[in-house]
Chains A and B, each alone.
Chain A
Amino acid sequence: MLLTVSTTHRPATDLGYLLVKHPDRVHRFDVPTGTAYVLYPEATEQRCTAALLLDVDPQRLRGRHDAFALGQFVNDRPYAASSLLAGALAKVFRSALRGASKDRPELVTTALPLQIRVPVLRGSTELATSLFEPLGWSVTATPIPLEPSLGGDSHYVDLELSGELPLSAALNHLYVLLPVLDDAKHYWVAPDEIDKLLRSGAGWLATHPEKVLIARRYLVHKRTLTTTALQMLEGEEAAEPPADEEAELPVVRRQSLAEQRREAVLAALTEAGATRVLDLGCGGGALLTALLKDKRYTEVVGTDVSARALEIAARRLRLDRMPERQRDRLKLWQSALTYRDDRLRGYDAAVLMEVIEHVDPPRLPALEASVFGHARPGLVVVTTPNAEYNVNYPGLTGLRHSDHRFEWSRAEFAAWASHVAGTYGYAVSLRPVGEVDEATGSPTQLALFTLVPAEVTA
């Protein structure tokens, strides 16, 4: 992987002094990820280019985790600029990065005409532009195409920057933003990474419009690290004028659709007087949290087909620290709605909140049989998107979520609900959830199924 820095400052060869690398020699450094070279393909009075070339040794990257199972062996690390190159840059150009120069101290803070090229870098033209342009660069980021037989572009760009900036500023920009564009780190990110970010970001990051994205990606999406870093950046900004007074006034926050949906479901459960409740397809447990807060629910069961979702729910509910009495009210079970599950029998109510649309239509009868036929709670609350409403979402094409197998119109949902109710002996009523649009209805639709008591033989 490669980056080149060129200048047309006179004499251009001063670049060698600033980088502390003589233009007429081949500089070779052993770095943890391979061998780094500093080379000068041109070094004249008029123009001087320094190239940092990292010959990556893939064997030294073993053990690096990647979502793609084969990624350990088939990956772009030897080719694309990334934290590997940033790491080499920090090692090889240490003093230049710090803004120190023994031989040309006067040039350290001087804006020089610079051109930088990173021939292969993960990222999009838009992102590269939004990251570098606010820093005073004029940016050309050309997407690298895939082969013609596949057509289209790869996820890489050929990045060219030009501008008049001090060299140390340019190097710090690259040091921070190369891994940000690559969106990965080849090493374990510890809290000291915040210091590195703030040190290299000094003077420009706090006012960068994309600082949140930069901090988040630089700190590999670790939430606590990102928050700390951003708070520390805010501190830098403290000198800014106070925000205008209007912002101090309490704002009537608009309820999100998810909240409205939860409230509608809770209202239905309350009306029915349910106390032992199943949340089928509980996901991360947002509804479970609400149910547990309310003492009237003596038993709350969350099920999901994904063991991972249940782990997240357990973590979010702080299950391991929950008081015993509270803990006894809650059960989290892995279950699949297309299989009968005896554990789910005998409850007052079951909630299927935004669940059915994740089931392939041919499998819905199995879900119906297991919920309405087998588990057979007194009340079943089903919510699902109203497809008609989708026209009110600007820019939405297709379905609301990539895993939705279908989204129904009001008529389709009503037909399904009445079919299910008829088959399994339930009465059904439908309700809108969320702001109702006159033409297209509400964003979410809710069906309330009530078990019609069968005649019981003496």
Chain B
Amino acid sequence: MIDIPELALVALVGISGSGKSTFARAHFTPTQVLSSDYFRGLVADDENDQSASADAFEALYFVAGKRLAAGRLTVVDATNLQPHGRAELVRVAREHDVLPVAIVLDVPEALAWERTEARADRGFGRPVLSRMHRDLRRTLGSLSREGFRKVHVLRGPDEIAAAEIRYDKLFNDKRELTGPFDIIGDVHGCRAELETLLERLGYTLIRDESARPVDAVHPAGRQAIFVGDLVDRGPDSPGVLRLVMGMVAAGHALCVPGNHEQKLARKLNGRNVQLTHGLPETLDQLALEPPAFVEAARAFIEGLVSHYVLDEGKLVVAHAGLKEAYQGRASGRVRSFALYGETTGETDEYGLPVRYPWARDYRGSAAVVYGHTPTTKPEWINNTICLDTGCVFGGALTALRWPSRELVTVPAEREYYAPVRPLAPAERPDDGLDIADVTGRRHLDYGYGRVTVAAENAAAALEVMSRFALDPEKLVWLPPTMAPCSTSVLDGYLEHPATALDDLRQAGAERVVCEEKHMGSRAVVRVSRSGAGDAIWTRTGRPFFGAELDGQLLARVRAAAGGIFDELESDWLLLDAELLPWSAKAAGLIRERYAGVGAAGRAALPAALDVVDRVATRGLDVAGLRDRLALRSAEIDGYSAAYRAYVKPTDGLTGVTLAPFAVLAGAGVSYADRDHGWHLALADKLVAADPSLFTPTRRMIVDLGDPAAEAAATEWWLELTATGGEGMVVKPWGGLKAVDAKGRLIQPGVKCRGREYLRIIYGPEYTRPEQLGRLRKRNLGRKRNMALREHGLGLAALDRLAEGAPLWRRHELVFAILAIESEPVDPRL
């Protein structure tokens, strides 16, 4: 029976013909085995080309490293008889903090020679094999010295054939324990506070004959986890040890060691350590205990595992925290990180080591709970939290309940030990964004689907995001692009309610809401009772009119939203709206492009008509040309009327209004699951609260089974668009999370734009039959796909916002929406 860790680098060692490959095939899957022969073949087209060995091994080590980084067992099938080759394997294993293991297949040289001779492709002679055999003898003695943590030697073909592999779990692997847990911060001998905390958490303390607590049991079977630093500085380190040791022994608690336990154990082992940082107090207290207790404490500490991975990998507990690459790994440096954290090598003004803010860089999916650095208030930073609230320094003892993530705190009864550095609200390490969070080709699995963001689109978005957009902390959501309805074949129409409603019906919606499509600028508004962190931004994340006017606008929204804060019991709201008129934000665009073309057309066509009319009075036949010019003239007038409808005088904020149509989120909640009746009712309340600031959104609810309702919606749309309206958006009544029969997200809305409006999109002349014919071939697939991906990313961004996810987790989604927006797509859709 061969015991190897679940995650290890296994080196098979043996001479040629010893049966390594056969052994590997018998015990491991083909992809777990990296054979030197195979790699020689890869790089040189010849498995026996010894001149390719250096390149082959370089490639092999590289692949081994990739596998180990991903946490996969890796077996190296090579003779491994040379010390330098084995040294490389040990190096690769250490680099990824996995244990190197050797399995030696020791067969008689004669048998190996027999096998070698039987193989056509082995061209070396007996002396070579003999030399290998001598190398093997030398190797056997040195393997464990070289760093192999386990060496299994199988002697003779029978032992080899009979061998079985058994996998050991690593000590730190407690993924099967799913809690619930109460994770307790640094106790430092504060036994009284620990008792209070455990009782507050619902544990029943069990005491010995001297009334000393020796165990604590939770009626619901909860388990406590101690993050270490049970001892030193405080009044009763032995008492704390006694309680925790009892709980651990009884299976009521887990405990990871802190640096203080580590140092205490070294002292108890007779090593020379500096008697500082509260260790003398502990030693004095232990001196009053019987030697058996001291010995038990020493053994307890020695047996502690540096960190635990718990709850199916969702939770990691280590005294000083643990970066992702070290989680579930075993090595000296993993242990050292878990105990002491990472330091920069510098010291601060108090002479204490400056700690490297590893939590800032943390991007792992497991929550990391730790202690070690006293702070006044525990705060989640990138899914990590420090529970050391400096109880012994007069702060508090804190527990984190898992998985509810609730904090329970007991204040210190007094200051037991003066802190070297004053206990201050910890400067919260900035959880600023890393460029690697957003750039390059990225695959995102966001819960509603998966997207791949192309590197060039991320590059384009990076520029917009960093040069023009708001602070990512504020920019919590971006609106998705919206696809138009399927193309209509009705005479004279490119888009028509019949196809819009049918699209929704095809997607499985039974009831829809047709909302008037406001022609302005999309605006996302974050507004709060206090005004802190409020912002208004465009569909590309830019501020609207500059700090001052935006601030005034937000103040007015805030005043109107008072009732809604109360109603939703939320201190802030995220609104999706359209800012009107279009000319307020897009005046430049209208002037430069739309109105310029209109002015040119309105000047050129009358001049041409004048020439033609004068030619006609001279008796020449220009009737056909005149008709064409007259049609053009009518078309340019229609076009001019279309954009003119969206030009209204504004002065500062005077004349500017907002048309809200959805309340996306509030404190700790996404409202994406509410139906549009709910959203519009709130929008109506805003309009009622300040009719001069808010524009109502006209709407019509349509049951898709009811032909009369559909006819009414069509009638309504014709009316809207005849009076300068852009058109309507048809949305599934169920809200933003509407899905089809297969449970997939459907378009949150399709737009159905008016016949006249489309002149400013497709050109003044698009309604001519031959042009319409061409335009009907427009391809909507790409736009729809884009809209759906952006919509899903946005929903996920709202979810992550609600659950308080780290900034980088929220930002990567918002960034992806912006990146997808830079994919090339027909701008007219």
Contacts and interface: CB of A to CB of B under 8 A. Distances in A.
A338 B463 CA distance: 11
Interface in A426-458: 454-457
Interface in A37-81: 37, 39-43, 51, 53, 55, 58-59, 68-71, 73-76, 78-80
A76 B612 contact: no
A150 B604 contact: no
B761 A74 contact: yes
Contact of A76 (B436, B601, B608, B640): B601
Nearest to A306: B463
A306 to B, nearest CB: 5
B31 interface: no
B346 A457 contact: yes
Interface string B568-599: 00000000000000010001001111111111
Contact of B603 (A43, A74, A79): A79
Interface stretch (B195-203, B320-328, B617-625): B617-625
Interface string A315-353: 000000000000000000011111111100000000000
Contacts of B620: 24-26, 39
A362 interface: yes
Contacts of A74: 593-594, 597, 639, 760-764
Given A24-B620, A147-B595, A156-B596, A334 B459 contact: yes
B462 A336 contact: yes
A305 B593 contact: no
Contacts of A1: 604, 608
A83 B432 CA distance: 53
A68 B763 CA distance: 13
B778 to A, nearest CB: 12
Contacts of A362: 471
Interface in B384-434: 430, 432-434
Interface string A143-182: 0111101101011101000000000000000000000000
Contacts of A232: none
Interface in B346-390: 346-347, 353-354
Given A2-B604, A78-B601, A58 B611 contact: no
Contact of B471 (A339, A366, A369): A366
A4 interface: yes
A318 B182 CA distance: 62
A305 B346 contact: no
A119 interface: yes
Contacts of B771: 59
A363 interface: yes
A53 B436 contact: no
Interface size bucket, B side? 35 or more
Interface string B448-476: 00000000100110110111000100000
Contacts of B289: none
Contact of A150 (B439, B595, B607, B628): B595
Contact of B432 (A39, A150, A370, A457): A370
Contacts of B456: 307
Contacts of B603: 79, 119-120, 144, 156, 158
B465 A39 contact: no
A48 B566 CA distance: 79
Contact of A37 (B435, B463, B625): B625
Nearest to A117: B607
A336 B463 CA distance: 7
B434 A341 contact: yes
A404 interface: no
B346 A456 contact: yes
A156 B649 CA distance: 23
B471 A42 contact: no
Contacts of A147: 595, 598-599, 640, 644, 647
A156 B602 CA distance: 12
Given A150-B595, A307-B459, A455-B347, A369 B765 contact: no
Contact of B353 (A53, A340, A457): A457
B353 A41 contact: no
Contact of B607 (A119, A149, A370): A119
Nearest to A367: B466
A333 B434 CA distance: 15
A94 interface: no
Nearest to B622: A26
Interface string A353-364: 000001100110
A400 to B, nearest CB: 18
B438 interface: yes
A339 B434 contact: yes
B828 interface: yes
B435 A150 contact: no
Interface in B661-695: none
A335 B436 CA distance: 10
Interface in B752-806: 760-766, 771, 774
B600 interface: yes
Contacts of B438: 339
A58 B763 contact: yes
Contacts of A456: 345-347
A16 to B, nearest CB: 13
Contact of B618 (A41, A55, A457): A41
A1 B639 CA distance: 18
Nearest to B434: A340
B607 A70 contact: no
A25 to B, nearest CB: 7
B591 A335 contact: no
A154 B763 contact: no
B429 to A, nearest CB: 10
Given A39-B612, A149-B649, A336-B462, A79 B347 contact: no
Given A76-B600, A144-B599, A152 B591 contact: yes
Contacts of B594: 74
A41 B614 contact: yes
B127 interface: no
B595 A53 contact: no
Given A39-B615, A79-B597, A366-B432, A2 B608 contact: yes
Nearest to B594: A74
Contacts of B466: 305, 336-339, 363
A53 B599 contact: no
A363 B765 CA distance: 46
Interface string B148-174: 000000000000000000000000000
Given A40-B615, A366-B432, A79 B345 contact: no
B605 interface: yes
Contact of B436 (A26, A156, A342, A374): A342
A232 to B, nearest CB: 35
A76 B583 CA distance: 21
Given A307-B460, A457-B346, A78 B632 contact: yes
A79 B346 contact: no
B471 A156 contact: no
A257 to B, nearest CB: 24
A76 B762 contact: no
Nearest to A344: B435
A298 to B, nearest CB: 24
Contacts of A155: 592, 596
Contacts of A335: 435
A171 to B, nearest CB: 18
Contacts of B601: 76, 78-79
Contacts of A340: 432-435
Nearest to B601: A79
Contact of A53 (B593, B608, B765): B608
Given A59-B774, A74-B760, 10 more contacts: A42-B614, A55-B625, A73-B828, A76-B601, A307-B463, A337-B466, A340-B435, A342-B434, A366-B432, A373-B430
10 contacts: A2-B604, A55-B625, A59-B774, A79-B600, A155-B592, A307-B456, A335-B435, A340-B432, A342-B436, A366-B471
Q: Which 10 A-B pairs have the closest CB atoms?
A: A41-B614, A336-B466, A79-B604, A119-B607, A69-B827, A154-B599, A339-B435, A79-B600, A120-B604, A454-B346
